[in-house]
Structure formats: C-alpha cells, structure tokens
Amino acid sequence: MSWFQCCMSEERVNRNSLKKSIKEYNDTKTLASFANLSFKSGKNRGRYTRKEIKKLGKGNILAQTFTFRELCVATNNFNDQNLLGEGGFGRVYKAFIQTTKQITAVKRLDPNGFQGDREFLVEVLMLSLLHHPNLVNLVGYCADANQRILVYEFMPNGSLEDHLFGTPSTKPPLDWNTRMKIVEGVARGLEYLHETVKPAPVIYRDFKASNILLDEEFNAKLSDFGLAKIGPIGDKSHVSTRVMGTYGYCAPEYALTGQLSTKSDVYSFGVVFLEIITGRRVIDTTKPSEQKNLISWAQPLFKDRRKFTLMADPKLEGNYPVKALYQALAVVAMCLQDEPNTRPLISDVVTALRYLAVNKDSDEDVEDESETESVSGSEFSSYSCSTSPDRNYIGESGCEEVAED
C-alpha cells in the first residue's frame, strides 16, 4: 500500500522517498513537510533514517544521538525489570544515561516493523520542533542499523491509563481536582498544536489515556507523536488520510471517510474526558453488552440531568463538586457531537476548564436534582450529546484503512 509500484526495487523506493521528502521541505520550508513523509524499510534503513533527519532538520534537531550500545548499558540490556510499558510500536524501558546522570524513558520500536520508520522519523522531527509544557520532551534517539529507539524525559507517575484503570493497590484513585488538572493540561497541549503552530495546525490523531504521561506533580504531557498529521491550510476544512488510531477514540467522520481535522482531536479529547470522569474504559468487553461501549452507555444519561451523578467514578466516593460535575459533562457532550462543525474549538474548551478550575469548590446555585428532569435548561440546552449509540464506526479489530496518507 504505497504511492510506488510494487515492482520497484527497494533501493529505488528508498531513493525516491528521500527525494520526495527533501523536495517537499524545499518547497515549503515549514513543519508541514515533516508530517507527510513516507519512509520505506530496507537493508539501509539506519543510514537513510539518519540522512533524512539531518537534511530535513536543517540544524534544528537538538536531540542527542545515542548509539545502540549506550542504550543497552542504560537499560541493562533492555532488561524486563526496567520495563515501564508496551505500546503499538514497541516497548518502553526506564534507563539511566551515564554521561548526563539522567533518568529517562527509552522506547524501543519493533526492529521488524514496517510502519515504525515513518512514525520514528515523524516523532523525532515533531518533538524537536514543537515545545510546550504539556508535550513530552525528547532527549535523543538512536538509528543504528535496524534499531529505532527514542529517549524521552522520565515521567515518574506513568500514564493516565495506569491511574484510571490500574489496580488500587498499585495506583490510588485520582481525586477530582487532580483529574481536572490533568484534563486542563492535555487541553492546553492540544490548543498549542491546533492554534499556535503555524502555518498549519498539527492534528495529534492518537489522543488516548495511555498517551498522556504524568510527572511527579501530575502535570500532564502528550506523548507518542508518530501518527501526528499536519492539518488543512487556508480555507480547507480537513485533510483526507488513511484511518489510523485506536478503536473507540476515533471521531465518526474520520473513521467512516478518512476526513481528518482538528475537530477529530476534539472528539477524542471528549472520549478521554469522559473516561476521566467515569473511570470507565471507552471499550470494556468485561461489562454487560449495554455497557461495553462507554459512549453508547453515556448517551441516554446526558439527556437527564438527574442522572449525571450516575456517571461519576465510584472511586471518587462522592467527593466532587456537583456543579463542576455538571459543567464538566456539558463540555464532554459538546466534544462528542456527531457533526465536527458543532464541536467546540479546543481553545473554547480550555476557557471552560479554566472557569471550572476557578469555581471548583462552589456548589451554589445547583438546582435540586429532583426538580430537573432533563438537560434542556438554559445552561445545558446546547450540550446534549447527539452521538448515536447504535452506530459502529469501526470494526472492533481496529480502524479500517480507507485512503492513503
């Protein structure tokens, strides 16, 4: 599945891919060219990867280059005792870099993976050029032979997924204020990608709990930029691309047609926000059939304000401001609208979350739940979720490929 004919030799494929990537850079001289690379595997993968990073980075790649030997030492030969987690493209290890006396997280991509080269290259370039307090920092990388390894700052509190869905014995439940702090942090990260990066927005495309990392103070940072995509420029509303991501998090228009926009990220943000509030996975096959899909389960509850408290995570044990819960769920419902044009901009979400943070301890003016039969009141009239509970956007085995990048 590529732009090139199957009969072309691997060497010619690599050469043409490199030429195309460099031409794109010279034509635009912007970040936009970096996110549309297609880099093929072959016996000279390491050489071509380093060459593309050097040429496309144009001196802007400040991340350190590590040898495979250095990272073997840092991880004790990638010992399982140092294993922090496992993702779609590889495993993550805790590491100690001797030269800088720094604790880091090392992600080793599957050496035999075909898609890993593109994700690796995009991530090195993206994280070398994009800097924000809510994006993870890239310390360095390794592209020796067929090894593809990324070295990040170490995030001692692991992933949001660990805290939401891990066992209580290993991760105590997050309190309400910490959850809202995390939500605001990742929203600010998306706001930077969507509205600060120029000349075109960056669409994250893989927004989920496992890609949200937490430092020692539970400040949240987005990680794993391998699927990031440069968004539409000018008056275009979307870009068309093959569907990639995780089942349950993809926006319906993206999953069905491959049309990707910043509003696709807003939908995924809404899914994660709902996971944070409810403590439920977006897809949980261990639950009864009517509760397996989080969005389907929540959709009827959005229509009746008296049932909003039923969506709060039982682990919170009722320790949350009811008014803040109502307002948070209103934001979630707006983000989960079927039509992308009716979803809010992420900057509007940040504004709403800032208001929530300021008024986090206030429950004044909350109506008696027994007197409020629906969300049709003025505060929630535009917030009811229109997500169809019976629509199966993507097959449960994963996202369907509908078009080429």
Cis omega (within 30 of 0) on the bond before 199?
Answer: yes
CB 86 within 8 A of CB 66: no
Helix/strand/coil (H, E, C) string of 375-388? CCCCCCCCCCCCCC
Q: Which residues of 209-241 are buried (b: 16+ CB within 10 A; e: fewer)?
A: bbbbbbbeebebbbbbbbbbbbbbeeeeebbeb
Q: Which of 162, 206, 224, 313 is catalytic?
A: 206
User: Do 357 and 180 meet the contact criterion of CB atoms below 8 Å apart?
Assistant: yes
The answer to whether residues 336 and 385 touch, using CB atoms and an 8 Å cutoff, is: yes
Under 8 Å between Cβ of 386 and 234: no
Answer yes or no: 80 catalytic. no
* Distance in angstroms (rounded) separating the CA atoms of residues 320 and 348: 23
| Residue at 2: amino acid letter | S
**Token couple for 13:** 């494929």
Cα separation, 289 vs 297, in Å, equals 10
Alpha-carbon separation of residue 131 from 138, 159, 196, 249, 294 (angstroms): 10, 20, 11, 25, 33
- DSSP category for residue 135: B
Strand partners, 79: none
3-state secondary structure of 230: strand
> What are the residue numbers of the active site?
206
